[in-house]
Amino acid sequence: MIGPLYPQGLLNPEYNLLIGFLIGIGFGFLLEAAGFTNTRKLAGVFYGYDATVIKVFFTAAVTALLGLFIMHNMGIIDVTLTFYPKTFWIATLIGGAIMGLGFIIGGFCPGTSLSAAATGKIDAWVFIGGVMLGIFGFIFTYESLWEKLRGMGKMGKVDIAQWLGIREGIFIFLFVLLSVASFYVFQKWQDAWKNKLSKEDIDELGL
């Protein structure tokens, strides 16, 4: 758990692990229930025939954002006790590109590959093998290849609103507008695809 109970010492590490375990079960269950263990669903974002992933992730982000922000203002939860990482924009950009490539080639994200492996999909097990190879490959070549890259574009802990010089509330409102607009655009895009595809294609893609 990243916050706020654990950093305040209100939970001991064992309970923290237990809560993590329970949240993990819920997360995996819902990933499967939403069909995210289907590789076509994830790849669909990139081809444009399925906007589910975008919608789910944006909804989750916006819900968490609004919930935390409003509850902080009401004095319920101290957001400053939660964790957010430092920004290294060049390293993140390159890492994001690699991850995106992995997404579209493999059809899983690290989380969904584990869920899919649990449902017995062989391609997911192969994907996890690839993840492991990547991790160990990174570890053993870290000093020679990656050490410099890792610190590139260092910006410290950045808050976008502060960086832009606007109030946090305004930024949040703009972000909500942006995500709602993206729902709309992706939905249109998906509908356009559906009209183009034949019945068999739709069944094949699991739409």
Partner 1 sequence: MKKLDKIIIGILLLGGFVSIFLNDMLPYPHIKGPEELVYAVNQEGRYISTDEVAKMIMEKDPSLLLIDIRSPQEYEKFTLEGAMNIPADSLMNPANRDYLDQDVYTTVLFSNGSSAADEAWLMLKSYGYEGNKVMKGGLNEWYRTILKPIKPADEELTAELEKQYLFRKGAQIYFTGAQIIGNSAPKKASKPSKPIVKRKKKEVSGGCG
Q: Which is nearer to partner 1, 191 or 204 (CB)?
A: 191
- Residue 55: name the closest of 74, 75, 39, 35 by CA: 35
Q: Which residues contact 46 (CB under 8 A, 6 or more apart)?
A: 103, 104
How many angstroms separate the first and last alpha carbons of the chain? 34
Distance (Å, rounded) from C-alpha 43 to C-alpha 161? 32
- Joined tokens for residue 65: 């954002």
**Please, what is the minimum distance in Å from the beta carbon of residue 162 to partner 1?**
8
Cα 45 to its chain centre, rounded Å, is 13
Q: Which is nearer to partner 1, 2 or 145 (CB)?
A: 2
Q: Which is nearer to partner 1, 9 or 120 (CB)?
A: 9
Which residues of the shown chain bind partner 1 in the complex (CB under 8 A)?
A: 1-3, 6-7, 9, 57, 59, 62-63, 66, 69-70, 72-73, 75, 78-80, 83-85, 109-111, 161, 167-170, 172-173, 175-177, 179-180, 183, 187
**Please, what is the minimum distance in Å from the beta carbon of residue 123 to partner 1?**
20
Q: Which is nearer to partner 1, 109 or 124 (CB)?
A: 109
**Please, what is the minimum distance in Å from the beta carbon of residue 125 to partner 1?**
20
**Please, what is the minimum distance in Å from the beta carbon of residue 150 to partner 1?**
15
Distance (Å, rounded) from C-alpha 135 to C-alpha 116? 20
